[in-house]
């Protein structure tokens, strides 16, 4: 693996473990096995490297979510596939973790990959919910944007609950609750004839 790639991957891991504030250039260099000169040869500094690493994490999250959201034929199957994907609740989300970092939130450049990723996710989920209501699979009146935000919040909030408890169970409980709510939003079966 070339030096720039090692720097990016090391930064991705450190950001996930420690956040932006807790990730020093020295720690990045040590984990990557790269010197200071190499880091500054490939990147303008920590913010530039962090944005590159965060964009990579965002692309990975989008690919994983898209794979789930494209699974199944019905809106419920797609939403359930997203919710029920196996996740390590205690590790949290690589992208969501950055939303908790004050330096990331204070910087438009650093915040942008986080903001764009969650906007994309909410948009994809909203389309699925809208398709479900349009097809009669989901009850009419279910707001697609509000429901999409709630589904994204269940996963991200589940991570927070799991990390706070030091246990996977609160994450799983949040997902089970969202699944139950989606099933309750399913349209009543229509009588034949």
* 158 domain-assigned: yes
Residue 89 inside a domain? The answer is yes
9 burial (CB, 10 Å; 0-12 / 13-18 / 19+) is middle
Domain with residue 124: its CATH number is: 1.10.357.10
- Domain range enclosing 68: 57-185
d(CA 69, CA 40) in angstroms, rounded, equals 39
Number of domains into which the chain is organized: 1
pTM over 0.85: yes
State whether residue 88 is helix, strand or coil.
coil
pLDDT tens profile 107-164: 999 999 999 999 999 999 999 999 999 999 999 999 999 999 999 999 999 999 999 9
**Residue 110 located in a structural domain:** yes
Q: Which of 91, 89, 84 is nearest to 67 (CA)?
A: 84
* Measured distance CA(44)–CA(40) in Å, rounded: 6
Q: How far apart are CA 55 and CA 9, in angstroms?
A: 11
How many C-alpha atoms does 116 have within 13 Å on its Cβ side?
A: 14
CA dist 151 and 53 (Å) reads 26
- Please give the share of the chain, as a percent, with pLDDT higher than 70: 96
Q: Residue 193: what pLDDT? A: 46
Q: Render pLDDT for 9-35 as a digit per residue (tens, 0 to 9).
A: 999 999 999 999 999 999 999 999 998
The phi-psi region of residue 186 (left if phi > 0; otherwise alpha if psi is between -120 and 50; otherwise beta) is beta
Q: Specify if 67 maps to a domain.
A: yes
CA distances from 111 to 87, 102, 114, 132 (A): 23, 10, 5, 32
Per the domain annotation, does 51 fall within a domain?
A: no
Sign of CA dihedral 20, 110, 87, 178: positive
Q: Is 48 contained in some domain? A: no
- Structural contact between residues 90 and 168, judged by C-beta atoms closer than 8 angstroms: yes
**Dist. CA 183–CA 185, nearest whole Å:** 5
Mean pLDDT of 40-48: 92
User: What is the reported pLDDT for 1?
Assistant: 64
In a domain, 119, yes or no: yes
Average pLDDT estimate for 72-92: 94
Q: What is the pLDDT of residue 38?
A: 87
The per-type count for the chain, helices as H runs and strands as E runs, is: 10, 0
Task: Give the chain's length.
Answer: 193
Q: Is residue 92 part of a domain?
A: yes
- Yes or no: say if 130 and 144 are a contact pair by the CB < 8 Å rule: yes
């Amino acid at each position: 693996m070339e030096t720039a790639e090692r720097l990016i991957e090391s930064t991705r891991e450190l950001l996930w473990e420690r956040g932006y504030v807790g990730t020093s250039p020295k720690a990045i260099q040590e984990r990557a096995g790269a010197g200071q000169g190499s880091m500054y040869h490939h990147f303008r500094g920590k913010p530039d490297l962090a944005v590159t690493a965060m964009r990579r994490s965002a692309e990975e999250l989008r690919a994983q979510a898209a794979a789930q959201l494209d699974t199944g034929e019905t809106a419920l199957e797609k939403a359930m596939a997203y919710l029920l994907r196996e996740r390590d609740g205690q590790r949290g989300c690589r992208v969501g973790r950055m939303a908790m970092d004050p330096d990331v939130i204070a910087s438009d450049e650093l915040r942008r990959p986080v903001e764009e990723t969650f906007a994309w996710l909410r948009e994809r989920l909203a389309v699925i919910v809208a398709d479900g209501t349009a097809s009669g699979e989901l009850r009419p009146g279910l707001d697609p944007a509000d429901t999409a935000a709630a589904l994204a919040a269940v996963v991200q909030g589940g991570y927070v609950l799991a990390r706070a408890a030091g246990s996977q169970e609160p994450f799983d409980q949040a997902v089970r609750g969202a699944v139950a709510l989606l099933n309750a939003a399913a349209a009543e079966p229509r009588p034949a004839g």
